[in-house]
């Protein structure tokens, strides 16, 4: 939903809360918009929002492994940089 639409929707809700004149038709339209938004959110959550505990554990294990690999790669890169700088210093 666009920001402008969200602001307009928020304004309409605020008007209703403050007792502004609203027809039952306007209230129904507002409720329909909310239902559409809820359906969109539920669909998004259903597509990948919920994971089983086993899936979460596997993802955490994979994340830990990747973090270790990344740390090793960083250390190797630092070592290579130091070696290259040392070799360049010897050349000049």
Alpha helix (H) residue ranges in 1-92 = 3-17, 24-48, 53-91
Q: What is the pLDDT along the chain (92 residues), one digit of tens a residue?
A: 566 676 777 777 776 666 655 567 777 788 888 888 888 887 777 765 556 788 889 999 999 999 999 999 999 999 999 999 999 999 87
Classify 18 as helix, strand or coil: coil
Which residues touch 9 (CB under 8 Å, ≥6 apart)? 1, 30, 33
Domain range annotation of the chain: 1-50, 51-92
Q: CA 67, CA 78: separation in Å to the nearest integer? A: 17
pLDDT number for residue 43: 78
Answer whether 52's CB lies under 8 Å from 69's CB.
Answer: no
């Amino acid at each position: 939903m666009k920001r402008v639409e969200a602001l307009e929707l928020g304004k309409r809700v605020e008007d209703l809360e403050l007792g502004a004149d609203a027809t039952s038709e306007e209230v129904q339209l507002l409720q329909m918009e909310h239902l559409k938004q809820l359906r969109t959110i539920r669909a998004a959550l259903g597509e990948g929002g919920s994971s089983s505990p086993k899936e979460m554990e596997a993802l955490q294990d994979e994340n830990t492994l990747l973090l270790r690999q990344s740390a090793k790669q960083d250390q190797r890169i630092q070592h290579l940089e130091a070696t290259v700088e040392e070799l360049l210093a010897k050349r000049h």
